[in-house]
């Protein structure tokens, strides 16, 4: 692998580390700084494609948690090709919600990046959980890597 690809992979890893730390801290600006304008976002929560502005979406989501968010990334794979890259991983989110519930969910995450002005920015985020293929097609939230 070329030295540039290794440097790019390292830079993307740094972006992912900073982005995930901002999620843990519920830092809206810290998350937003890693997204490109007009990014396409497919979150686990409806709708199929996020239409709400990113800042508003993050503020609303973070407000549902009482304290910091436990956010873990496992089995991260990063692929770089020129000024475009992607990564996929298994991520875990846990915490205490305002209603006292304590979700602890593993999900699949794919992030797509583009190098813009010499910085790697997230252009697409896709989160998903598998679902049972028999009716009533419930999400399989008990799976772990």
Domain positions in the chain are: 3-128
Residue 32, phi then psi, degrees to nearest 5? -60, -35
**CATH code for 3-128?**
3.10.450.50
Q: Check residue 128 and give its pLDDT.
A: 96
The better pLDDT of the pair 101, 142 is held by 101
State mean pLDDT over 39-68: 95
Average model confidence (pLDDT) across the chain = 96
Going by pLDDT thresholds of 50, 70 and 90, the confidence category of residue 20 is: very high
Q: Indicate the burial class of 99 (C-beta count within 10 angstroms; 0-12, 13-18, 19 or more).
A: exposed
Say whether pLDDT at 71 is over 70.
yes
Q: What is the pLDDT of residue 3?
A: 78
**pLDDT value for 47:** 92
Residue 1: pLDDT band (50, 70, 90) is low
Q: What is the mean pLDDT of residues 97-114?
A: 98
pTM of the model: 0.93
Q: Which two tokens stand for residue 95?
A: 């915490």
Query: Per-residue pLDDT for 2 more than 80?
Result: no
In angstroms, the first-to-last Cα distance of the chain is 28
**How far apart (Å, rounded) are the C-alpha atoms in residues 89 and 71?**
12
Matching residue, tokens 């790697």: 120
Handedness of CA 116, 26, 54, 123 (dihedral sign): positive
């Amino acid at each position: 692998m070329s030295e540039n690809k290794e440097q790019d992979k390292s830079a993307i890893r740094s972006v992912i580390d900073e982005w995930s730390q901002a999620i843990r801290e519920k830092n809206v600006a810290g998350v937003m700084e890693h997204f490109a304008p007009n990014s396409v976002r497919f979150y686990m929560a409806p709708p199929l494609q996020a239409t709400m502005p990113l800042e508003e979406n993050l503020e609303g989501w973070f407000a549902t948690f009482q304290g910091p968010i436990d956010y873990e990334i496992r089995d991260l794979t990063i692929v770089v090709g020129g000024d475009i890259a992607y990564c996929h991983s298994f991520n875990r989110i846990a915490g205490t919600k305002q209603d006292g519930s304590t979700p602890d969910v593993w999900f699949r995450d794919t992030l797509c990046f583009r190098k813009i002005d010499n910085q790697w920015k997230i252009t697409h985020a896709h989160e998903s959980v598998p679902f049972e293929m028999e009716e009533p097609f419930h999400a399989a939230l008990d799976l772990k890597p």
